[in-house]
Amino acid sequence: MRLRLVPETTNWDFFGRITLWLGISGFMLILALASFGIRGLNYGIDFAGGTTIRTESSEPVDVGAYREALAPLDLGDVTITEVFDPTFGEDRNVASLSIQAQDGQEAVSGETIAAVQAALTELSPDITFPSVESVGPTVSGELIQTAALAVMLAIGAVLIYIWLRFEWQFALGAVVALVHDVVLTLGVFSEVGIRFDLAIIAALLTIVGYSLNDTVVVFDRVRENLRRYKKRPLKEVLNLSINETLSRTFMTSFTTLLALIALYILGGDVIRGFVFAMIWGVVVGTYSSIFVASALLLKLGVKRDWSKPEAGQAQGPAGTQFKSSDS
């Protein structure tokens, strides 16, 4: 007996309350933008500036002991990560410490770095510090600009790709859904206060790709059904297409979430922010591919068969032929 989380055949009306779904999305976007504007993001060292110290010792790395040793220094946001490498010998234990720049300072001072090294040396006398690297505010600002540019270029490339493959209505619906996902993710990070670093930028780009994949699958089925059912209203074709791809969409999201939840619980603090962004992105991306991208497509309208216009039919502007081809 095969396990089915979604019935093999469904006939749910996803657009019966289209105004409600779009209203919910609009309200959530306003909340996310308001939170981002008022609270901002909790930038990590990559964006706020700070220092990374690499340590090596013959004794095993005890992250808890390291953290207790540094607690009296009141350094604020400190990330301690044990570094694994298959080339390391048994007596080579490596850790990476990331210390955020203190309030009112552009970088971690030399006195603070010396105090950290002294505290760790007292804990482990044979510890060494092979590298100390600092990220200043200038580099951090450039990273923020580059990261924002990367996300915008990715969304712009999606706009062009969908436009060339489908029609501008599909492209606009897909891009609005992607912007919806990215803004809501930024809003959640702003509201919860999770550290926002370069790993989260990687998560945002992954969310863009995941959400786009879901949206393109639905749109591809919509295009097929528009050519197959030329007499049916657009709303019915969209509902049919989403119902036909619903099992695939749900199972893909469900299995992805299973892996991500396991990583969130067992993966440790280092990747927890990245995994949280991915979990949120999968949920929101699945929602937006159905209730945002497709709903906008219904609002914008679309012509039935743009590749094979009927003989003698006047070629109107894109998105205006749906009613005439149905008549």
Q: What is the mean pLDDT of residues 250-270?
A: 86
Confidence of residue 318 (pLDDT cuts 50, 70, 90): very low
| pLDDT value, residue 86 | 67
If you average pLDDT over residues 218-229, what whole number do you get? 87
Query: What is the tally of structural domains in the chain?
Result: 2
Statement to judge: residues 291 and 182 lie in one domain: yes
Are residues 98 and 111 located together in one domain of the fold?
A: yes
Within a domain: 152: yes
Together in a domain, 278 and 152:
yes
Higher pLDDT, 312 or 208: 208
Q: Are 127 and 24 in the same domain?
A: no
Within a domain: 315:
no
**Does residue 178 share a domain with residue 243?**
yes
Residue 174 located in a structural domain = yes
Mean of pLDDT values over 234-241: 89
Residues 284, 204 share a domain: yes
CATH number at residue 121: 3.30.70.2040
Q: Examine the pLDDT at 29 and tell me if it is beyond 90.
A: yes
308: in domain: no
Question: Are 99 and 169 members of one domain?
Answer: no
- 288 pLDDT exceeds 70? yes
Last residue of a domain, one of 91, 106, 135: 135
Domain that residue 175 falls in: 18-41+140-300
In a domain? residue 295: yes
pLDDT band at residue 307 under the 50/70/90 scheme: very low
Is the pLDDT reported for residue 225 higher than 50?
Answer: yes
pLDDT reported for residue 322:
41
Give residue-wise pLDDT tens across range 103-140. 666 667 788 888 888 988 888 888 898 888 777 666 66
* Confidence at residue 261, expressed as pLDDT on a 0 to 100 scale: 92
Mean local confidence (pLDDT), 284-297: 87
pLDDT confidence band for 2 (50 / 70 / 90): low
Q: Is residue 209 located within the same domain as residue 91?
A: no
Residue 73 forms part of a structural domain: yes
Position 107 in a domain? yes
Domain boundary among 111, 135, 159: 135
In terms of domains, do 101 and 163 share one? no
In a domain, 13, yes or no: no
Q: Which of 135, 165, 194 represents a domain boundary (last residue)?
A: 135
Answer yes or no: do 126 and 249 share one domain: no
By percentage, how much of the chain surpasses pLDDT 70?
85
Domain match, 123 and 205 both: no
Residue 258 pLDDT greater than 90, yes or no: yes
Asked if residue 31 has pLDDT above 70, the reply is yes
CATH number at residue 266: 1.20.1640.10
Confidence at residue 4, expressed as pLDDT on a 0 to 100 scale: 67
* 3-state SS record for the chain: CCCCCCCCCCCCCCCCCHHHHHHHHHHHHHHHHHHHHHHCCEECHHHHCEEEEEEEECCCCCHHHHHHHHHHHCCCCEEEEEECCCCCCCCCEEEEEEEECCCCCCCCCHHHHHHHHHHHHHHCCCCEEEEEEEECHHHHHHHHHHHHHHHHHHHHHHHHHHHHHCCHHHHHHHHHHHHHHHHHHHHHHHHHCCEECHHHHHHHHHHHHHHHHHHHHHHHHHHHHHHHCCCCCHHHHHHHHHHHHHHHHHHHHHHHHHHHHHHHHHCCHHHHHHHHHHHHHHHHHHHHHHHCHHHHHHHHCCCCCCCCCCCCCCCCCCCCCHHHHHC
324 has pLDDT over 60: no
Per residue in 146-203, pLDDT (tens digit) is 878 888 888 888 888 888 888 888 888 888 988 999 899 989 988 888 878 878 888 8
Say yes or no to pLDDT of 247 above 90: no
pLDDT score at 310 = 46
- Shared domain for 178 and 32, answered yes or no, is yes
